[in-house]
Structures are given as structure tokens and as C-alpha cells.
Structure 1
């Protein structure tokens, strides 16, 4: 089953290795209301590197002195992962990335007609000239060049191909990121787009995926991009990011391993710790049913499911709990069956016939249905209050009032 729908590359064999670029420290931190301290960024960078991430998209140095400092401090950690900086194709942005001592630059520029016309109000020729100048600046400063085509899934592929072909003879391109910036692609259209670009470049450009999750398809689109020929992906821990977030690191790593059968360096056993840490530092709690790292993913209550699991864990866990360093767990509750009762009694060394197990099960179900839901409501209220407090950001009116007060003080 693994890799059964995988597209072959130009060499006749599927890619043997997929690079993983994590952008929790940059795109993840752009989540409204989220910020990381210097110490937190260094802690996350170390754990991400230890987990097998190839490159960190570690910040946007031109937009923040704190990001420049964070990248500089990361250099002192001797990470296995390369350190990257995001930049616009502007001299001050590229200079800031160099000052931050970045190994790689993720040079981004809108590519769709809508973004060029309505947001930047420039012609495509002018945009291409700016992009070219920025790319040459990156290479001149000795950093790796990653072209990021923002809004690529709403752009004309022929225009993107033309620009890359203009740049290829001039600058060495490490990777070309296809960004589904507004999350509007489907797995089918994403795979087609990557195939089109890969064919146009004869497989000589390393295509990379950057998917957003506005329709809940970021992970699926990322895997579809790999099937289309992409050789690198970008993700965030817990899928945090702007609006609905990005492709989730754990989900993509699990999909690459167990569905596509491609190699990467991510250690599945490091993913739960990373997920919990990002929950803590970001203030964004994940759902118990979040794939791969969620609290309930390897817990079972339904009698039919538990009976199957006790006979063979593969019955209801295609993704093994052991892959992330966890164990399957069984919960006694309203939907339990006698199989779990008898197993628990046997483990306790107590003989238990079916009739006894049924009586015990009836008691369990009655207890479950009599439980007070007040704690559920209190937990919801705590979450609501915490969410509003931690993710609301700073009230603009407060900033304006402070600004006016400062002006009045300065002018006497």
C-alpha cells in the first residue's frame, strides 16, 4: 500500500528523501496573539533540530530586531539544522538576513495577478526585476537562495515558469517554494501544479511545498505535492500559523512515513514533546482528537474497537502508537464492552466469567451516565477565558491612547 500512487520522477524512481523545513518560529509566531521569547525560540530551535528538521525558517529579521538576535544566538547552539531567514527581495531585508547570519534565505514575492495588481500595484515585469535583484543580492552575500512564490496556486504557471527560466542561468536556486497562501488548492490541483512545474524544469529544480489550512487541506495538499514531485516541505508544530494555520509537522511526517513511504529525518518519538511544548508556549491548545499527537489518538472506549485491538492492535491503529513513543490505552465508559472488563480482571488475577463481566459492565455504564458534567462546563469556561486573554493581542485603542499621551508629554 505504501507509496502505491506515487508519481515517478524524471530518473524513473520516486524521490528517496524529502527535506523538512519547519517554520514554527516564523509563520507559527505570526499567529495572531502569539509570540515567543528569545529563550523560548532557542529551546524550540534545539528541539526541532534534534527531532530531525533539516532547515529552520527561524524568523523575519528585517521586521524585528528580536528575530535578528534570535538567529544570531541560534548560530551558537551548533544545531544540525540549517538556519533560514525570511525576506522580501529588498536590499534592507537581504542585508538584515545576512546580519542575522542566516544560512538560507526564503525570498518571497507575490506571483498572482491579483496580488501584484491589487496589493503591490506593480506590473509583472517590474515584480520580476525586483525579484531578480533580490535573488542576486542573496547569492552575492553567500547565502542559500530559496524562491518563495507567494499565492502560487492562484497564479499562471506559465508566468512562474518564465521567471524561473530567466533566473536559472543567473543564480543558483536551492529550492522553489510553491505557496498555497490562502489554502485554496485541492490535493488534485496541487499534484497537477507540481507535476507541471517539475516537468517544465526537467526535474532540475527542487520544488518545495508551503501549504495553508484554510479549508483543512494543508496536510493533504503537502502530501499531494510530494506525489507530484516535490522534494521539500514546510510545516509548523501543531499546524499553528496565520488564520487557520499551516501544514502540521507531525501529520506530514506520519503521512510521509506510513502512507507515501518516503524517507526523511523526523523522529516520530520527538513529536509529542514538541507538540506539548508549542501548546504551552503559544497558548493554543490542540484538540484531543488532533491527528498523530492528540491525547485521544491512541485511546479506545468502544467495545467493538477494544475487542479488535486486544486481538490485534492493527485492527484500529494503522498508525502505531509506538511510532510516537506512546502506548495504546483503553478507557472504561458508556461504550465499553465485556472484553475489556475480562482483560482487566485477568490482569488483576481475578477469574471473571461472562455473566460477571456483564454485571460489572452494567455498573460502569450506569456510573458513566450519572456523572456530573459540571467539570466539562468549567473546563470550557476556563478555555474560553484563557483563549480570549492569551490570543486577543494588544487592544489598538490602548496603543493609540498611549501614543497620544507620549506626544502630549513630549510637546509639553
Structure 2
């Protein structure tokens, strides 16, 4: 029987206080034909999630944070932002991240004059966080843009699956690795810190290509004494967080391989997720739990195809996992949503968590009754405190005068001295209309648009000014 561990040294792992035998070295498997994992990704069928029941331990870093791609991936699926809009949003991100800089970095395109102008104006702000970074293809021509602006860090696209290496780049694994390393060395020679975007990692050969490539990157980092970040990009949203799932679909398996076998430190690991299979948020949280310090996000999840991990979602994931917001100002999230709706013209679906206009509105009559007695019964947390969004009770035939008054007060954010009670003439006028609707056979709750029209008509009739 061949024992691969016979002559390998036994060493003490100071972090785990356990004796360990060094595993075999991971060298590039320069295959002649692409490995596209057809058993997991049969294109004419739904992708499969196989298991081998190999699990890895939780390994959450001491420090975790959020990074932003609103101005890069977020701009790939919508009309480009103006320079002024980018600068305004960047200000919001700075305030949201708080004094401890939990929104650690924001990446920018450099290709258009508009984007470069935005970079210069954001740099003029002098904020420590979010740090301004760039993104380029693995091209020496693109790298000239980074040098011209004087960026301290840049992302570099280093596609890592055979789908991309063989089918898009028309290279072998060895050729791709050598090409990527040449561009990364040029970055390092200029004193610029590279951030390697391992595109399509959830369809890549983790131990035949990804780990050997990252080992080479760690050698370069040691040689140049300049940090090299690794961003694991779940480009197609294939990642899963199920214990015992097989790599390359296992998020925790990928992070374990990058940290334990490729030797990438926690603080240089980052996860970039897409939401094709509704798993962007849970996969990002899983990446944190198993060794990534950074998770990459975009505001409201706006991004390629189904979008990226929503930034606002990870703010609240952070709070739930850490037990603190650590200085983040979550009320800025509501300000951002209002800015997108009113100034940018972007429509946020009304049931979007935390930011949709109906996310904390209860519509069922029995729910409304409980909500009016104690809002904790049907509200996820104190949304007025954390999002400046008081819980709202939709109006139906069971709401009564008090329910209508509550709706008007909360929808219009009326201050205490201007709040209406159930005896107000305006409330009675609206109640008459509501009663008539249900007497005519209506069974559904009333929409905001219907109520606003009735309230507006009644206000004009009675000469009452709400706002």
C-alpha cells in the first residue's frame, strides 16, 4: 500500500495546537482537454449538487468587512451613473460604513473619462474608507490606465475555469497562468497591490489549477512584500453552502482550499457572489464563516444578470453574526434607497428586504390587529430606529378608524404634534370610502396608490394640509 505521508515531516500547527503532517504539494495539472465538470453541469439539464460528505471546520476571521462593486459590476447591468451620482453614492457609502470603515473598499472602472473623473473627485474627498480601487482585464494596455491615475490597488481579471481558459481565452492552463503572472508581476514592479479576480471559480479545477496558481501568487507576495488579494468569484451563482457538498460548488470547500492549501491569509481573501440560484447572501455569509475576511457586494444587488450580493443585506448579516453594527449607520440605507428612486430613477421592487416600500408593511387583517397592539409581533426589528422606517399597517375592512389614522401618521412621517387620531374628520372621510369598497364585495387590501388618492381628495375637500 502506498502511503503518501511516510516521509513527510510532522509539525505543530500553532493556531490549532495540533501536530500535522504536511499534505502533498499541489502542482498545475496542465490538461490537454478542458475539464468542464459535465457530471455536475450538464448544459441540457439542471445543474446537479453532488455530495461526498467531506466537511471543513468553521474558521471565521477575527475581522470581517464588506467591499463594494456598485460602480463596476453594478454598472454592467444598468445605464451608467453620471460622475455626480457616483460621487454622491460614494459619500453615502462612507457614512454607511461608519468610523471603523466596515465598507472597506469600492472599485471603479477606469475606461471612460466619466469614470476617471469620478475617481479623481472621490479621491479628493480624502476618505480612508471606502478605499478607492480599480478593475482591469489581465492586459498590459489596461494596466497603463492604473499607472496613469496612480492607483494603489487594482483588481485584475484572472478567469480560472476551463470554460474561460480553453473556450474564451483559447489557451492552456499553463499559458493562462503564465500570462496572468506576467501582468501581476508588472503590477508588483510598479508597487501596485494586485487583487486577483478568480472568475468562475465554482466551475474551476480547484486543486488542479486554482490552488497551484494561488501558491505562485503567494510566492510573488513574499518576494515583493506587497499584498496580493484573492477574490473568489462565483460568477454564475453555482456556489452552495451545504455541508458535505463537492467542490467546486462547495463555498466552504473553496475557502478552505484557498486558505489552508494555498496559504492565502484570511485578510486577503474575498468572496464575490451572484444570485442566479437565489444563494448570493447565504453564500457570502458562508464565506465569512469559513475564512474570508471580505465579501464583495453592490447596492441593492444591482449587477450582472440576476445581480450581486446586496450590500444592505450583508450589513445586517454582519450585525447578526457579530452582535453589533460596529459603527455602521444603517439609516443611510434608507437615504440611499430614496436617492435611487427620486434622483436616479431606479425602481426598487416594493417587497425588497430593508429597502422596498412594503418590506415592513403588514396587509393581512389579523396581522394588522396584532401589529396595532404591539409592533414586535409582526416586525423583524425596530425598523424605525435602524432604517428610519416605522412599521406600516395596510388598510382593509378590519383596520377601523385607528388603523387608518395609524397608516396616515406613519406613511407621511407626521411629527407627534401633527399626528391624527381616530376622531379626525379626514380619517372619517377615508373610512367612509373604505367601507363602501368592501360593501361592494372587495376582499383584498387597499393599495398605497388608492389610499393616497382618497386622502389627497379628502384633504382638498376639508382644507387639511398633511405635509
TM-score, L = length of structure 1: 0.77
Preserved CA contact (<8 Å) 1:16 1:262 = no
Counterpart CA distance in 1 for 2:344 and 2:179 is 35
Q: 1:328 aligns with which of 387, 391, 396?
A: 391
* Aligned match of 2:270: 208
CA drift at 1:232? 0.3
* Aligned match of 1:247: 309
Question: Aligned ranges for residues 145-294 of structure 1 at < 5 Å?
Answer: 145-158=194-207, 159-171=209-221, 172-188=226-242, 189-201=250-262, 204-205=265-266, 206-258=268-320, 261=323, 266-280=328-342, 283-294=345-356
Q: 1:348 aligns with which of 390, 407, 421?
A: 421
1:6-60 deviation digits (Å, cap 9, x = unpaired)? 9642xxxx3343221111111111114x11111221112222122212111122x
Counterpart CA distance in 1 for 2:263 and 2:167 is 33
Q: 1:51 aligns with which of 91, 96, 107?
A: 96
Other structure's SS at 1:25 match: coil
Q: 1:117 aligns with which of 150, 156, 166?
A: 166
- C-alpha root-mean-square deviation of aligned residues, in Å? 3.3
The structure with the largest helix share of the pair is: 1
Preserved CA contact (<8 Å) 1:68 1:96 = no
Other structure's SS at 2:219 match: coil
* Aligned match of 1:74: 122
Counterpart CA distance in 2 for 1:269 and 1:7 is 35
CA drift at 1:314? 2.9
CA drift at 1:335? 6.2
Counterpart CA distance in 2 for 1:362 and 1:138 is 70
Other structure's SS at 2:71 match: helix
Gaps of 5+ in 1: 1-5, 351-357, 377-412
C-alpha change, 1:255 and 1:242, in structure 2 (3 Å) is: same
Gaps of 5+ in 2: 1-55, 98-102, 243-249, 408-418, 424-430, 451-467
TM-score, L = length of structure 2: 0.68
C-alpha change, 1:340 and 1:192, in structure 2 (3 Å) is: farther
Structure of larger gyration radius:
2
Other structure's SS at 2:238 match: coil
Preserved CA contact (<8 Å) 1:102 1:143 = yes
C-alpha change, 1:234 and 1:372, in structure 2 (3 Å) is: closer
Higher RCO, 1 vs 2 (CA within 8 Å, ≥6 residues apart): 1
Across the two proteins, how many residue pairs are aligned to each other?
357
Counterpart CA distance in 2 for 1:144 and 1:92 is 17
